[in-house]
Amino acid sequence: MLLVVLLLIGIVFFVIGKFSPYEWGNVAADRDPRGAKNSFTLRNSYLFALSTITWQGFREAPHSLSGRIMAAFWWMFILFSLIAYTANLTAYFLARPEQIPKMPFKTYEDLLADTNIRVGVLLSGSTESLLRNSRSETLRSIYSKINAQNTFVGSYSEVRS
């Protein structure tokens, strides 16, 4: 997903750099001692997007207002992505195995084999329809088990009580 966004944002920066009259490409040569005129070619646009992901910085930032706004949104996206990644990584490392709930079965076949587990679905619900009309033999077997146990419920409140 991040690679797709990286490709799209590189194209957006290139288009802004190419067509915006206020971008570095339209700066006069005598006012451009650093060579910023070629800052947002397609290759450099991808380099800019990639360097901001890795927090390395880039030689030239966008010069036009539209480029700066796009860069601000890109940096916020990167910042929030890094925050979400760090938070999930922290939660993953802090979760102890005893805190992770264990299911009494690992596969659907285990569920079918254990007679102590009662499986139920909402009567005329989408799950019942899926199990009943499935092409999978295992899912149809689960429906047969539910039908044999007569564990259909009319509403979710019946399950909670």
The number of domains in the chain is 2
Task: Calculate what percentage of the chain has a pLDDT beyond 70.
Answer: 87
Burial 116-137 (b: 16+ CB within 10 A, else e): eeeeebeeeeeebeebeeeeee
User: For the ranges 35-39, 69-73, 87-91, which has the lowest average pLDDT?
Assistant: 35-39
Strands 121-122 and 152-153: parallel
In a domain, 28, yes or no: yes
Is residue 61 helix, strand or coil? coil
Does residue 103 lie within any of the structural domains?
Answer: no
Average pLDDT over residues 113-132: 88
Rounded CA separation 121/128 (Å): 6
- pLDDT band for position 81 (50/70/90)? very high
The Cα 161–Cα 157 span in angstroms is 6
The residue out of 76, 97, 118 marking a domain boundary is 97
The string of pLDDT tens digits covering residues 6-23 is: 899 999 988 887 777 776
Per the CB < 8 A criterion, the answer to whether 23 and 64 are in contact is yes
Task: With a cut of 90, say whether residue 135 has pLDDT above it.
Answer: yes
Torsion over CA of 60, 85, 5 and 38, rounded to 10 degrees?
10
Q: Identify whether residues 90 and 28 lie together within a single domain.
A: yes
How does pLDDT run across 18-49, given as a tens digit for each residue? 777 776 555 555 565 555 556 677 788 888 88
For residue 117, give the CATH number of its domain: 3.40.190.10
Domain presence at residue 135: yes
